[in-house]
A and B are shown apart, each in its own frame.
Chain A
Amino acid sequence: MRRKLFKYAFSVGFEKESVLFLQILLMSILLFMMTDPLLENLKTYREVAVLYSDGQQDLIHVIGENAPTENDQIHAFSVSHAVAQKASTHSDQALDALLLHYSKSWMSQINLQTGGIETAVSKDATPVLLSEACRNNYALHEELSIWLAEENITCTGEVVGFFRNRRLPVLMSHGSLPRLNDFYLSVEDYPAMVALESIEGVSCQPEYLITPGNPETFEASTASSDDVSGSSVRSDILGAEIRQTWNTYFMDNASIIFAFALFLLVAVFGFGAYIALVFREKQETMRILHLNGLSYRSIRQLFITAYGFLVGIPLLIGWLLIPLIGKVIFLEGLSLPKLRTVLLALTLMGLLLWTFTSLEFRRFEKNGTAGIVQAKPSKKQEE
C-alpha cells in the first residue's frame, strides 16, 4: 500500500519539487560563482594609505594575489615628469605616478587619476611597468624593444604577460636596468612610463636606485635631466600604511554586492512563490488522502519518509561520489573543496525542504481538511 501511496507523495515531489531542487542547485552554483570572487577579493583586499606631511592622505585600494599583506613593509615615492604632462590630453591625467615599493620586492604603479593598479610579479627579472595610458599600445612595446636593444640593454623586449586581464604589459630585462631618465626620453611621446627598482639579483645603477623612505633621491634623479622639467609631484610623502578596511571594500565591490543582493531578493521572492505553490499542492494531496481515509499519522509517515528519500538519496550519492567526481570529471573552476561546499549548501537546503514538509504537515494537521476548522481533536475535546 505504502509503495503506491508514495507515488502520490512523490507526484508532488517529482513534478514540482524536483524542479525546485534543480533551481536550488542552479542557484547554489550561481551564488557560489558570485560569492567566490567576492570572498577572494575579501581575502586579498588591502588599502594603502599614502600619508603626506600636511596630514592629508591618499587611499589606494589594492586587490589581488599581489596585494601587500600587513606584514609587508611599504614605502611610497612620488614620481612625476614633464613627458607625462606633455603627452597627456588632460593636464591632470598624468598628475603623478605613485610608486609603491613593497618589501616583497614587487612593485606597483598606481595612476591616481584613474585609480588603476598595476603590478608586476616577476621575481627574476626587472619589471618595467607601463602606466594606465600606455595600455593596449602594442606599437609602444615594439618601440621599447628596439630602444632597449639600441641601448644595449639585455631585454627580451617582449610582452611577457598581462596582469589580471588589465592588459598591462610586463617587459623583462635581464641586464642592467635602463637609466630612468633615458627611458623617459626615449618614449617621450608616451605618457607616464616608470621604470622601477631592480629586484634581487639584478644590478642597478646606483644613481637610479630608488631608496625607500627618501623620495628626494628619486626627485633628484628625475630633475637632473634636461628633458624632465618641473614636477607637480608631492614630494612631501611621509610614508605609507597598509590597511584593511571593510567600508572601502564594500564601496569598491558595490556593483557586485548590489547584483548579489538583487539576485537574492529575486530568488527569495521567486522561491517563496514557487514554494507556496508546491506546498499548496502538497497540502491538497494531504487533504485528499485524509478525505479518503488515510489517517494523520500515516500521512505524516508517508510524507516525511518520501521527502527524506527525495532529498536524502541524491545527496547521499553526491557525498559518496565526491572523490570519484573530483577525480574522473573535470570541473573547471569547481575544485573538490568547492564541490564539497556546493554539496554542503545543497544538503542544508535539502534539510530545509524536509523540515518545511514536516512543518506543512503540522499546519495541515492543525487546519484540517476543511481548511478552516481544527480537524484533529484537542485533548479537551477527546476527553
Chain B
Amino acid sequence: MAIVRLENISRIYHEGERDQVQALRDISIELEAGSMCAITGPSGSGKSTLLHILAGLDRPTSGNYYYQNQLMNRLKDREICRLRNTEIAVIMQDYGLLSYDTVLGNVMLPAVIGKRDSRETLAAAKDILNQLGIGELSEKKVSELSGGERQRVAVARSLLMNAKLILADEPTGALDTVSTDKLMDLFESVNQQGITIVIVTHDPQVAKRCPQQFRLVDGRIV
C-alpha cells in the first residue's frame, strides 16, 4: 500500500512575479509503506522543496499529494501539524533541536506538543536514547553535543511518536564518513521496523544504501 502518492506536483515560488522560480515540475511518485528511498540531485534541483511538501511544511502550487490516501492539499494547518506530530517525523540538516534544552527535553518535545508526555512516554524516550547509545547524554544540553550526537538525538525524537514516515533532509551533510555509516545503519534498522524513510541527499554513498532512488534535475525526476 502506498503511504505517499504525489500526482503532478509543481511548486512555483513568487508566482507571477519577476523573480518567479519553478522549483518542482510535474512530480509524480509513489512510496510504499515500509520503503526506504533517497532523493538525490544537484543543488537547486528541488530536493528540499519536495521534502517540505512531503512534510506538509510547504504546499504545492498544483498537483495532489496523498498521504495514506488523504489529500494533504485540503487539510488545514492544524490537521497537518497533528500529522507531523504523530506520523510524519522530520529530521533537518541542522537537526532542528532546541540548543538550550536537554537531550531528553528535545526528544520529548513532540510528546509535549501532542499532549502525550506521560511517564510511559518518558520511559520510552529514555529507552530510545539508550538504544541509540546516547542514554548517558539525556540530561546534557544539546549545545554541548557533537554533530553526530545531535543527529542521533534528532533521530531519537523522530522515533518517539512511532512515526510512520521519517523524512530526513541531508542528514549526513555535516557528518564524517564513520558517523555517516553509523547513521545509515540506524536508518536501516529503523526501516526494518516498517517505518518508511525518505532521505534527501547529494551524497551518492548514502543514496546507494537506499533500495529506491529518485533523481531530481531542475525540478523534474529523471
Contact = CB atoms under 8 A, between A and B. Distances in A.
A binds B: yes
B96 A381 contact: no
B101 A290 contact: no
A11 B59 contact: no
B61 interface: yes
A146 to B, nearest CB: 75
Interface stretch (A106-114, A256-264, A365-373): A365-373
A15 interface: yes
Given A376-B77, A377-B59, A293 B113 contact: yes
Nearest to B62: A381
Interface size class of B (residues with CB under 8 A): 20 to 34
B173 to A, nearest CB: 15
Contacts of B81: 290, 293-295, 298
Contact of B52 (A5, A284, A288, A369): A369
A292 B112 CA distance: 10
B58 A5 contact: no
Contacts of B47: none
B194 interface: no
B57 A291 contact: yes
A302 B114 CA distance: 15
Interface size class of A (residues with CB under 8 A): 20 to 34
B84 A4 contact: no
B39 interface: no
Interface in A330-383: 368-370, 372-377, 381
A297 B110 CA distance: 17
28 contacts: A1-B112, A1-B113, A1-B115, A1-B117, A5-B113, A11-B100, A11-B101, A284-B98, A285-B98, A288-B109, A291-B84, A292-B96, A292-B157, A293-B82, A293-B84, A293-B85, A293-B110, A294-B81, A294-B113, A295-B78, A296-B77, A297-B77, A297-B78, A298-B81, A369-B57, A370-B58, A374-B58, A376-B77
B143 to A, nearest CB: 12
Contacts of A5: 112-113
Contacts of B101: 8, 11
A291 B82 contact: no
Interface of B: 13, 48-49, 52, 57-59, 61, 77-78, 81-86, 90, 92, 96-98, 100-101, 109-110, 112-115, 117, 157
B89 to A, nearest CB: 9
A290 B110 CA distance: 10
B86 A8 contact: no
Given A11-B101, A297-B78, A370 B57 contact: yes
Contacts of A12: 100
Given A11-B101, A373-B13, A291 B59 contact: no
A101 interface: no
Given A11-B98, A295-B78, A370-B52, A289 B113 contact: yes
A15 B113 contact: no
A290 B96 CA distance: 10
Nearest to A5: B112
A144 B90 CA distance: 91
Contact of B85 (A288, A292, A373, A374): A292
Given A4-B112, A368-B58, A372-B13, 4 more contacts: A292-B113, A293-B85, A293-B113, A381-B59
